[in-house]
Amino acid sequence: EVQLVESGGVVVQPGGSLRLSCAASGFTFDDYAMHWVRQAPGKGLEWVSLISWDGGSTYYADSVKGRFTISRDNSKNSLYLQMNSLRAEDTALYYCARVNSGYDDAFDIWGQGTMVTVSS
Amino acid sequence: SYELTQPSSVSVSPGQTARITCSGDVLAKKYARWFQQKPGQAPVLVIYKDSERPSGIPERFSGSSSGTTVTLTISGAQVEDEADYYCYSAADNNLVFGGGTKLTVL
């Protein structure tokens, strides 16, 4: 079964750091670019970051640029999001999602998300 | 920066046709995709490349495009189609989502 499972979400104080992980299974992980997308409680979806299949290219939303770092370890079938200088507005459910070139680079597989709460 | 605008809500009776629009200048140059999200669940891709349907998505879901507006159409909407629907597009290595539309079928 094709699956993405996020982990690492916790309650953290403003200014703190956190690393999220996304474990992939059921497909050849290094064939796919990957994204992080977040959803604040009761709000819509917001794109966070993109990484190419080999990790050679990364892109970020302006709201997280300079604070978040996306990375991947293809030998471990894992995607990561290092989050520094966290703010209250970073509170959200964080999803990892797979890009499928067969669907014009649309996200075709999403995880169930991991919740990050930034609060003192 | 790019913006995509959706109506906040659409309501239809079962069996009727639901239409959800998504507007933005980027759509004149880039394809749109549509997601369905039910409460407590991860999003599901229902349309890509403006009008293409992924495998496993019912034929009642269709998409169309005209200028800077794309439309998701659900023909013969069913109660199980009640969900939030989001459009999104990509440009300059940035992705932008619409604000989402709550579809009520009752």
What would the pLDDT profile of A59-114 be if each residue is shown by its tens digit? 999 999 999 999 999 999 999 999 999 999 999 999 999 998 888 888 999 999 99
> Is 90 exceeded by the pLDDT of residue A50?
yes
* Backbone φ and ψ of B98, nearest 5°: -70, 170
Residue of A nearest to B55 (CA): A103
In the chain, the amino acid numbered B72 is: L
> Is 90 exceeded by the pLDDT of residue B91?
no
pLDDT of residue B1: 65
Q: Which residues of B touch A45 (CB under 8 A)?
A: 35, 37, 43, 86, 88, 97, 100
pLDDT of residue B98: 95
> Is 80 exceeded by the pLDDT of residue B32?
yes
Query: For all residues of chain A together, what is the average pLDDT?
Result: 95
Bridge partners (DSSP) listed for residue A114: A94
**For chain B, what is the HEC assignment?**
CCCCECCCEEEECCCCCEEEEEECHHHHCCCEEEEEECCCCCCEEEEECCCECCCCCCCCEEEEEECCEEEEEECCCCHHHCEEEEEEEEECCEEEECCCEEEEEC
Q: What percent of chain B has pLDDT over 70?
A: 99
Token pair recorded at residue A41: 């409680």
Token pair recorded at residue B15: 């069996």
pLDDT of residue A105: 85
Q: Do B94 and A108 touch (CB under 8 A)?
A: no
Bridge partners (DSSP) listed for residue A49: A36, A60
> Is 80 exceeded by the pLDDT of residue A19?
yes
Nearest to A28, CA basis, from A56, A53, A6, A5: A53
Question: Which of B45, B88, B95 to mutate to test binding with chain A, by most A CBs within 10 Å of its CB?
Answer: B95
Residue A80, classed as helix, strand or coil, is strand
Residue of B nearest to A103 (CA): B48
Q: Residue A106 CA to chain centroid, in angstroms?
A: 15
In the chain, the amino acid numbered A38 is: R
Residue B94, classed as helix, strand or coil, is strand
Residue B26, classed as helix, strand or coil, is helix
> Is 90 exceeded by the pLDDT of residue A52?
yes
pLDDT of residue A101: 85
Query: For all residues of chain B together, what is the average pLDDT?
Result: 94
User: Are A79 and A24 a contacting pair, CB within 8 Å?
Assistant: yes
pLDDT of residue A61: 94
Token pair recorded at residue A36: 């992080």
Residue A31, classed as helix, strand or coil, is helix
Count Cβ–Cβ pairs < 8 Å, chain A vs chain B. Answer: 56
Over range B5-15, report the average pLDDT: 97
Over range B65-94, report the average pLDDT: 94
pLDDT of residue A66: 97
> Is 80 exceeded by the pLDDT of residue B93?
no
Q: State the residue for tokens 């299974």.
A: A25
Residue of B nearest to A112 (CA): B42
